[in-house]
Amino acid sequence: MSKNNERIFEEARLKNLELATRRVFFKDCFLGMGSMALGSFLSGCNWLGSKDGTAIFNSDNPLLPHAPHFPAKAKSVIYLHMAGAPSQLELFDYKPDLMKLDGQDCPQSLLEGKKFAFIRGVPKMMGPQANFKQRGQSGAWVSDHLPHFATVADEVSFLKAMQTDQFNHGPAQLLMHTGTPRLGRPSIGAWATYGLGSENSNLPGFVVLTSGGKFPDAGKSVWGSGFLPSVYQGVQCRSEGDPVLFIKDPAGMDRDLRKASIDAINEANRMSYDEFKDPEILSRISQYEMAYRMQISVPDVMNINDEPDYIHEMYGTKPGKACLANNLLLARKLVEKGVRFVQIFDWGWDSHGTDESLAIDYGFVNKCRTMDKPVTALLLDLKQRGLLDETLVVWGGEFGRTPMQENRDGKKMPFKGRDHHTEAFTIWMAGGGIKKGMSYGETDEIGYSAISGKTTAFDVQATILNQLGFDHEKLTYQFQGRPFRLTDVHGRVINEIIA
Amino acid sequence: MSNVFALIGNFHPVLVHLPIGFLFLALLFHWMSGKEKYAGILPAVRIAFLLGMISAVLSCVTGWSLSTGGEYDEDTLDYHKWMGISVSVFSLIGYQLSNKPNTGLKKVISVLTFLLIIITGHLGGTLTHGEGFLTKAFNSKSDSSRSARKNIINVQEAQVFNDIIQPILQDKCGGCHSATKQKGGLRLDGKDWILKGGKDGKVFESGNPLGSEIYKRSTLDPLEEKHMPPKGKPQLTEQEMTLINWWISSNAGFVKKVKEVVQEPKVMPALLAMQSAVVSVKKPAIPEGNIAKAPEAALDSLRKAGVIVLPVAANSNWLNVNFVSIPKISDKVVALLAPISKQIVWLKLGYADLSKDSWKLIGQCNNLTRLSIEHTNLTDESIANLSGLNNLLYLNLVGTRISVKGIALLKPLSKLDELYLGQTMVKTNDFTTLQKQFPKTVIDSGNYHLENIPADTQLLKAPVIKK
């Protein structure tokens, strides 16, 4: 036993002795009886995992990789969430008829019984503020705001008739990612990691990257683990400064010393495991070990500087900054190393027209410019590495934007903008067993509401899980006496876009 | 009178279940009554046979009425009819014998009745649900042949009728208008049948969609009786209707190719959707059938070495093997694959520096469908080891020192769908030659660049507006 460890073992010995004191005995009886009673209320709950036995929480190594229900078409997912909700009417949903109505009063029929976040009274219709062309072989409509993306339009499947029932950012984002507009449910990345574990034992299974200067409105809950064990929550990494906060050893603590201290702590833990046989202790030991391994491997993958120049040029990265381009390059690196789920949030797409940065004809165009090249680069880079085939890329916002110009509080606004809109928006998916050059769903001639091929957040979630090899109805977790699942009682796999 | 006769035919599908139930019950009671313990139910046998006989006769009558509608496959119908009549006759015999003492004859009759009911029932099922209806769910082959859509690589080169229209008709109308069934006296599974028409005459008039019943009926109100396909059956999608309309209105006939026919803007998306809908490669590929479980000891030693070894799905013995967690892959670890070489279907072994023996071992994993060996030391010589992997669908050779010479050795990989060759020694102008050698494979040359355009870095600024 080395000298360094003696203090730890001494502390362990003292804690151990405390167990025999009267005070601790009473405390334990008190809590113990309470929890026994609680336990009997909750009896019948199968706490650890689903009955079908495919995804079972293993407290010894919760991130142990699992096989899904059926062979997966996608091994990883990169979910690009444009927080604030980009306008489908300026990007993909081309509505020449809306142009004809530009500047006219919105017909009453579209307003009756409808609720908007900010529109009041009778707004004016606003035609598309972009030029559209059909692209590639598939003839997909993509506006001039995305000149690079237009060249890869044949790689993706558009869902043009997405609908939601939430018109505020927070709830709508939660709905997209956790399957409910309220707090408390696990996010889709957490479900995926719960079901699949982490492929690379040195890296987390679920990583979150943010850009745009702000967090998504719904806060960290959009990548939370809800009622799932907390090991499944997204690990937020940063492309600026330390990739993961508090991962560096403190000054004066070298790697060997760190190793020695973790070994010592683990040995003490193992001794108490021998005594009590509580599996949570083993879980603690394995987590210390994983944290130690990640100290080395995380900074390594998170470092984009060792990528060749042409890759940096392709993505248009800005070294040392927290920006979407850097995050997308990182996402590719992470997926290459076996991370299952990379969740990317880029804030700043809420184009109300309240100021220049949120104007549909200025700030929005600029957002498109910072997104266009890196997203295209991501698709091409994955493709040239043979990874697009097994990586599902999803792009979208939390809702759409109105075909009417926003008139906040019934007044004319300084810039052109569109309000939040629930009845139609566009998202796209690519790679990971999704059809190429497909467009599914249609909106009416002014893009106000979806008329055919409607899809919802639940359908998207079911489809993502399906591509990862899961039946979304069977990936469940027992909580509060009933099995929960991501899509609750909803969701249909969108077979129309699956190859 | 003939109307009433036709009407009672409609009761056949309901009535037929009665004799099946009564006669099975009669036979069951009959067999049970042989046991002393159940001897008391003997009188019930007679009653059940009587009821069975009556309902069997009624079924025959209604069935005969239904058959005169003439919408069924004649051979099957004939068998069904005679079998049905024999069931009635046998139930009469059964009734007669039921109060006689047990003899060998009685046994034979009871077994025969049992078999007859089953055969008649099955034939009836075949008439209404089509050939092979029982096994459809088990038979993935018949499932895929049901959807006759075939791979269209380039829609402009496809034949309008054979490649686009016929598959739609087969999918949505074939259940009632084909060799097995001819509702309305109409078959839609071929040019000649379509031109022949149905019991009310012609159904197709080139150049006139609304004058062609085949299209017009699908435009009717879905609740109307003449609407096709009938209510509750899978309907034509908007796209399919657009395509059928275009096929008729443009006089495309039965032999023209898409590119020889005028295409209005409206059909373009529908046509393109046909194309993209099929560029689909069947994935994730795992071999058909299953395989013996891999030895647990071999899996353990791989896991101990840090290799991820997982079944591709719960309840499958096929394995997905991934070395991504190992920073430096050694030949010793790769050698651990030997005992599971037949079970591996997906293998990821990027960035490895391997010996000849290791490559040989990988070449023996001949159930592999996906192999990622990017940035390995694979050479134009060692690649020869892979030429026996004839189940491969996906091969990733990015960043290796492979040249066209080495790739040529992959010729036997006839199933190869995707081949990734970025950053290899394959030169830009070699790719055309390679594509000729591998006509069915999508070859990715990598090396993508995105041009810099001013918009990438310039941001729009609003002119200063006066307040």
**Residues of A (374-413) whose Cβ lies below 8 Å from B:** 376-377, 380-381, 383-386, 389
Of B238, B325, B460, the CB nearest to A362: B460
Is the pLDDT at A58 greater than 80? The verdict is no
- pLDDT tens-digit profile of B362-409? 999 999 999 999 999 999 999 999 999 999 999 999 999 999 999 999
**Are A221 and A174 a contacting pair, CB within 8 Å?**
yes
Percent of chain A with pLDDT over 90: 58
Q: To which residue do tokens 């509080």 refer?
A: A409
Instruction: Name the band, by pLDDT with cuts 50, 70 and 90, for residue B278.
Output: very low
Q: What pairing do the DSSP bridges indicate for beta strands A425-430 and A156-163?
A: antiparallel
Least confident window among A363-367, A390-394, B91-95: B91-95
Residue A428, φ and ψ in degrees, nearest 5: -135, 155
| Burial of B280 per CB tally in 10 Å (0-12, 13-18, 19+) | middle
Q: What is the pLDDT of residue B174?
A: 87
Of B269, B318, B398, the CB nearest to A386: B398
Whether A369 sits inside 8 A of B456 (CB atoms) is yes
Whether A71 sits inside 8 A of B286 (CB atoms) is yes
The class level of CATH for B296-444 reads alpha beta
Q: At what angle do helices A188-196 and A169-178 cross, to 10 degrees?
A: 20
Q: What is the pLDDT of residue A43?
A: 43
- pLDDT tens-digit profile of A381-425? 999 999 999 999 999 999 999 999 999 888 888 899 999 999 999
Is the pLDDT at A498 greater than 80? The verdict is yes
- What amino acid is encoded at A121 in this protein? G
- pLDDT tens-digit profile of A63-83? 888 899 999 999 999 999 999
Say how many residues make up chain A: 499
Is the pLDDT at B148 greater than 70? The verdict is no
Q: Which of these, A268, A292, A263, lies nearest to A281 by C-alpha position?
A: A268
Best to test chain B binding among A94, A390, A466 (most B CBs inside 10 Å): A390
Is the pLDDT at A53 greater than 60? The verdict is no
Average pLDDT over residues A302-330: 90
Q: What is the pLDDT of residue B408?
A: 93
Name the residue with higher pLDDT: A395 or B123. A395
Q: Would you list the domain boundaries of chain B?
A: 2-140, 145-274, 296-444
Instruction: Name the band, by pLDDT with cuts 50, 70 and 90, for residue B153.
Output: low
- A433 touching chain B per CB within 8 A: yes
Q: What is the pLDDT of residue A49?
A: 39
Name the residue with higher pLDDT: B36 or A242. B36
- pLDDT tens-digit profile of A169-221? 999 999 999 999 999 999 999 999 999 988 888 888 999 999 998 888 888 99
Instruction: Name the band, by pLDDT with cuts 50, 70 and 90, for residue A31.
Output: low
Percent of chain B with pLDDT over 90: 50
Q: What is the pLDDT of residue B2?
A: 66
Instruction: Name the band, by pLDDT with cuts 50, 70 and 90, for residue B101.
Output: confident
Name the residue with higher pLDDT: B142 or B341. B341
- A454 touching chain B per CB within 8 A: no
Average pLDDT over residues A227-234: 86
Is the pLDDT at A1 greater than 70? The verdict is no
- B135 touching chain A per CB within 8 A: no
Is the pLDDT at A126 greater than 70? The verdict is yes
Residues in contact with A16: Cβ distance below 8 Å, sequence separation at least 6, in sequence order: A272, A275
Instruction: Name the band, by pLDDT with cuts 50, 70 and 90, for residue A91.
Output: very high
Average pLDDT over residues A270-274: 88
What end-to-end distance do the CA atoms of chain A give, in Å? 60
Q: Which domains does chain A have, with CATH numbers?
A: 3-57 (no CATH), 76-243+302-497 (3.40.720)
- Look over chain A and give the mean of its residue pLDDT values, rounded to a whole number: 88
Average pLDDT over residues B242-266: 87
Whether A137 sits inside 8 A of B316 (CB atoms) is no
Best to test chain A binding among B156, B235, B241, B276 (most A CBs inside 10 Å): B276
Average pLDDT over residues B157-184: 87
**Are A61 and A233 a contacting pair, CB within 8 Å?**
no
Name the residue with higher pLDDT: B284 or A249. A249
Average pLDDT over residues B311-338: 93
Q: What is the pLDDT of residue A32?
A: 62
CA angle (B373, B376, B381) in 5-degree steps: 95
- Look over chain B and give the mean of its residue pLDDT values, rounded to a whole number: 86
CA distance B88 to B57: 6
**Are B322 and B296 a contacting pair, CB within 8 Å?**
no
Whether B313 sits inside 8 A of A385 (CB atoms) is no
Q: What is the pLDDT of residue A14?
A: 82
Is the pLDDT at A248 greater than 90? The verdict is no
Name the residue with higher pLDDT: B123 or B72. B123
Alpha helix segments (H runs only) across A138-224: 147-150, 169-178, 188-196
Instruction: Name the band, by pLDDT with cuts 50, 70 and 90, for residue B43.
Output: confident
Instruction: Name the band, by pLDDT with cuts 50, 70 and 90, for residue A142.
Output: very high
- What amino acid is encoded at A19 in this protein? L
**Partner residues linked to B177 by β-bridges:** B182
Name the residue with higher pLDDT: A380 or B158. A380
